[in-house]
Amino acid sequence: MTASLVLIPGLNNTRAVFDQVVSELPPDELGLALDNPALPSVDQIAQALLPALPERFWLAGFSFGGYVAMALLAAVPERVQGRYFEMIDAQAANAFHPDSLKNEALMAARKAMVRDYGAARFSAHIRATMSRPDRSALLDGRRPTLIVSSSHDQAFTPEVMAYAKAIPGAQQVLIQGAGHLVPMEKPTELARTLANWVLTG
């Protein structure tokens, strides 16, 4: 049976942030990347995404997408097979490993993605971030939980991400040689990590 893995992007990202990740997933794991609509709360965004989601799915949110994932978990916990998966976002050079900044194709892809994302969506998602409720109590170990961080994330360092240790049964994976934008910098490694999580979770 094909596993459905729903992927939710972060601020200044469209679903294109997951293009390489989806292409690297095994054939039996269907990756469904979605765009977040320009709505001013994470709950409204989650409700808008619900009609596009499968009946049962694994759930991975990148950065701001993690807040939306938590809102989805609160709204339809019985449909979520996976748990909150968060990779965090920063801007410009803070978002990438120093070596990635020299990759012209990668930088061009990010520039195109930010342009497609647009100012209106950025503004709405900032408002949604500011008004989001505290849903940390949902991370109680009742579903498999994966926290992915990267070696060179300057906004959320591996030390900051150590909060995973407080989540019962949570796995924490550190991806080397990447900044914040792991889906674009290390898609193969991230796909392998997600696939292993789905298979063993």
**Distance (Å) of CA 75 to CA 28, 43, 69, 79, 121:** 27, 8, 10, 9, 22
Task: List the alpha helices (DSSP H) in 50-160.
Answer: 64-75, 104-117, 119-130
Given a cut of 80, whether residue 155 has pLDDT beyond it is no
Residue 156's pLDDT is 79
Residue 80's pLDDT is 83
CATH number of 3-200: 3.40.50.1820
Residue 91's pLDDT is 53
Q: How far is CA 59 from the centre of its chain?
A: 9
**What is the arithmetic mean of pLDDT over 3-15?**
91
Is the overall model pTM greater than 0.95, yes or no?
A: no
**What is the arithmetic mean of pLDDT over 174-186?**
92
From the list 29, 80, 63, 191, the residue with the least C-alpha distance to 132 is: 63
For 159-169, how does the pLDDT look when each residue is reduced to its tens digit (9 = 90+)?
A: 777 778 888 98
Given a cut of 70, whether residue 2 has pLDDT beyond it is no
Mean pLDDT lowest among 57-71, 78-92, 94-108, 156-170? 78-92
Average pLDDT, the chain: 85
